[in-house]
Amino acid sequence: MKEETIPVTKETVIGETAKIKIEGYRFVTMTCVELDENQVDVIYHFDENLQLKHFRLTVSKDTLIPSISVVYQSAFLVENEIQDLFGIHFDNLFIDYRRTLYLGGETIAAPFCKFTVKRTDKSAPAAVQAET
């Protein structure tokens, strides 16, 4: 199995997604990872004959991210999930639940958006600090 990770920006993510669809890749899912108090990585996963491609979009939490549901309609579900769980917002969603996908009308603080790793020594990796 071969993998490739490609950095994208909010300006290029739709074009790159359209290009990869034309190449025959299917949309698998997306992952969101909180990097720190201000930034997240949104990682898009695609597959074509066991060849995986990932797009990595690093943005601030208040950035309005273009929805890839204009290319892959099925992406609306995981984009809504990321909105609910991380408080990130997607623009031009095919179907937008407005942060109520799981909550049935209630909007609460994003439960997965908790910056939990705190370094006291900026030069040492967090794993090393935890051991000391």
pLDDT in tens, 75-102: 999 999 999 888 889 999 988 877 777 6
CATH number for 34: 3.30.460.80
As for how many domains the chain has, the answer is 1
Say whether 10 sits in a helix, a strand or coil.
coil
Question: Could you list the residue range(s) of the whole structural domain that residue 35 is in?
Answer: 2-131
The predicted pLDDT at position 58 comes to 97
**C-alpha neighbours within 13 Å on the C-beta side of residue 128:** 6
Whether the Cβ atoms of residue 63 and residue 91 lie closer than 8 Å to each other? no
Averaged pLDDT for residues 64-76: 96
Give residue 66's pLDDT. Answer: 97
